[in-house]
Structure 1
Amino acid sequence: MCGSLDQSNLKNKKLPWAVLVAGPTCSGKSYLSLKIAQALNGTIINADAMQCYKDLRIITTRPSIEDEASAPHRLYGVLPWDQTGNAGWWREQALSELEQVSSQKRLPILCGGTGMYFHSLIHGIALIPEPSADARAEARRSIETKGSPFVYELLSQVDPQTAQTLNPTDSQRVARAWEVWLSTGKGLKFWQQEAHLPGAAYNFIVIRLAPERALLKEAVAERFTAMVDEGAVEEVANFLKADPPVQAPLRRALGVPEFVAYLSGEITLVEAIDNAVRNTQRYIKRQETWFSNRVLAPSVQVCIFNSRIDKNLKFSESFIEKSISFINSFIDV
């Protein structure tokens, strides 16, 4: 389902164009983005939170070295594991990349499944003060020594408005909320209601993949089996040698908690894979809900495909051609 071009509906014809390829995990975003980039002189800008990190290339399913060499890729593997890349950080990096790519007369193609990254770029983001180093260290120390639920209870007492939006066991987000309160004396929800940085000055064309969940379930199972064959378990074992704390973002990457449990002898490898598939399906459901209820661009600039895109799947070439044609209908105006 694709919108149709009506020049009267374009808010600002003078703004540069950028493409968003969005959708749930395992839907084929990377492959579709690569094909669009090759056809339309594009540069792919990563919008997946975990693929920003240098570590765990296999388990975060970053594009292969060969794919990265066949078209320009930006913001992949740029963060060390001990740095937190939140939406504010990504937005700043993405804006810089958009400017550079546009100045090179190339088409920016933002590819990923982290909805809040897209939202921060398109609609802007709250201007939250950077927590002090002492506050950040104290928040991390509290999470490590006392656990996320304990810190969550502390947060609930001083900042219930933020706490009610969080999962007590989500150590990364609890630590983030706690460090902001420790540093500023005000909660995240307070700052989110204050001044906002504006959205990017671009016209966005959205290609959203929304395959049936049954198709994704099968693809996810195949992906985790392939990951193990490619060395994902060994990759996680090497990552653990650095002794990353529980709130390190990559500790939450899909498949990492399950393989950590396997490596510690708590479960078998088969159970680890089954658990990873099950938890990934839950994450996919949350992604689908998020994208279904958000406006990323005017409807005439949105194209939705209810299919996976993969070089081995029938009809994928047809969807790729339709995507390229749809994008061309705007950038050729």
Structure 2
Amino acid sequence: MSVATSDIEDSGKDRGLLKNAILIAGPTASGKSALALDWAERKGGVLVNTDSMQGYSVLNVLTARPSEAELRRAPHYLYGHISPATAYSTGMWLRDAMRLIDEGTFAGKVPIFVGGTGLYFRALVEGLSEMPDIPQPVRERWRYRLMEEGPDQLHRVLMREDPEAALRLKPTDSQRIVRALEVLEASGKSILAWQAERGRPLVDHASAHFFVTEPERAQLVHRIDRRFEGMLAEGALEEVRALTAMGLDPALPAMKAIGVRELQAADTGEISFDEAILRAKIATRQYAKRQATWFRHQLGQEWRRLTPQNP
């Protein structure tokens, strides 16, 4: 997979916050991280994680974060910087990316955003609405009610207080239900009203370079299967055991990382390890398919499609 150097040179002096950024999206195991690292080395780039799971600590191997050797080859940011106990959101990630800009991280460097979370890329390009600060007592109260009453009951509360927001959420979507209730109590305004007020894009669209990796399906499946086997050899089970020992709420995003529940079930004897491996591989393939579908339908014509055979 290669792209001519001229394709990623500076492209003008258009207005925008972060000029000449390179965005590389793609499904899991599609080769985007290797491509981004290669460009970072050749172009003097700074790599920024744009994947919701790779931001969590503990799950180094299971989320396919860069290895220690890869981290030494170019500057990497927003990898493994968040505790699994945190319900990390797109807004939180965008604020962390903004902090990098404020700190001068990209001065004289090429910013390269790489990952598989479509909403992060959308926030980069389109901006994201500001959300109110949630007082800790408000946050803790709704988290406690979720634990005591369950998401179905809180969905009914939201249906009574903010029916339009409730209709957009599944009764099982505990994190988003709680978030909507927190915002409503803290600000007196529906989360939908906040979301309608777009913020400023982080990257300058006119000078940015957009790429999405699209391997052939059979090749992607092979990569997924081979990678998960490698994860086990590199300590994925030990990571899951460390995560389990933290006693976290199963509804937290980090607990839903592919491989966590499967390996937990095998470790307790609920299923065999062979069954766990098979389930994790299937879940990863399904996830990659959903990602590819999202990118195909949600990304605009400016995104250049790349495959190993046809860059």
The question of a shared fold, defined as TM-score above 0.5 by the shorter chain, is answered with yes
Matched residue of 2:298: which SS? Answer: coil
What residue is the counterpart of 1:245 in the other structure? Answer: 249
User: How much has 1:260 moved relative to structure 2?
Assistant: 2.3
How many residue pairs get aligned? The number is: 303
User: How much has 1:11 moved relative to structure 2?
Assistant: 8.2
Contact map agreement 1:172 1:247 (CA 8 A) in 2: yes
What residue is the counterpart of 2:90 in the other structure? Answer: 87
Deviation sequence 1:208-244 (CA, Å, 0-9, x none): 1012333222222222222122221121111111111
Deviation sequence 1:246-290 (CA, Å, 0-9, x none): 232211112212222223332222222222222222222221222
Contact map agreement 2:212 2:305 (CA 8 A) in 1: yes
Contact map agreement 1:138 1:179 (CA 8 A) in 2: no
1:282/1:173 Cα in 2 relative to 1: closer, same or farther (>3 Å)?
farther
What residue is the counterpart of 1:271 in the other structure? Answer: 275
CA distance in 1 between counterparts of 2:3 and 2:169 reads 35
User: How much has 1:153 moved relative to structure 2?
Assistant: 3.2
Whether 1:136 aligns to 2:152 is no
Bigger mean CA offset, 238-247 vs 275-284:
275-284
Q: Among residues 181, 190, 194, which one is paired with 1:191 in the alignment? A: 194
What residue is the counterpart of 1:52 in the other structure? Answer: 55
What is the CA RMSD across the aligned residues, in angstroms?
2.7
Matched residue of 2:241: which SS? Answer: helix
- Note the 1:28-177 alignment, pairs <5 A: 28-98=31-101, 100-103=104-107, 105-177=108-180
Paired residue type of 2:219: L
Whether 1:200 aligns to 2:189 is no
What residue is the counterpart of 2:213 in the other structure? Answer: 209
Matched residue of 1:108: which SS? Answer: strand
Contact map agreement 1:101 1:107 (CA 8 A) in 2: no
Matched residue of 1:45: which SS? Answer: strand
1:62/1:121 Cα in 2 relative to 1: closer, same or farther (>3 Å)?
same
- Tell me which stretches of 4 or more aligned residues in structure 1 moved more than 6 Å: 1-5
- Note the 1:18-29 alignment, pairs <5 A: 18-29=21-32
Contact map agreement 1:26 1:216 (CA 8 A) in 2: yes
CA distance in 2 between counterparts of 1:128 and 1:233 reads 37
- What are the ranges of 5 or more consecutive residues in structure 1 without an aligned counterpart? 308-314, 320-333
User: How much has 1:98 moved relative to structure 2?
Assistant: 4.0
1:135/1:232 Cα in 2 relative to 1: closer, same or farther (>3 Å)?
same
- What are the ranges of 5 or more consecutive residues in structure 2 without an aligned counterpart? none
CA distance in 1 between counterparts of 2:239 and 2:129 reads 36
CA distance in 1 between counterparts of 2:272 and 2:217 reads 26
What residue is the counterpart of 2:258 in the other structure? Answer: 254
User: How much has 1:13 moved relative to structure 2?
Assistant: 7.3
CA distance in 2 between counterparts of 1:11 and 1:157 reads 50
Contact map agreement 1:254 1:280 (CA 8 A) in 2: yes
Contact map agreement 1:52 1:78 (CA 8 A) in 2: yes
What residue is the counterpart of 1:304 in the other structure? Answer: 305
CA distance in 1 between counterparts of 2:286 and 2:151 reads 21
1:276/1:177 Cα in 2 relative to 1: closer, same or farther (>3 Å)?
farther
1:80/1:207 Cα in 2 relative to 1: closer, same or farther (>3 Å)?
same
Q: TM-score normalized by structure 1?
A: 0.82
Q: TM-score normalized by structure 2?
A: 0.87
Bigger mean CA offset, 178-187 vs 195-204:
178-187
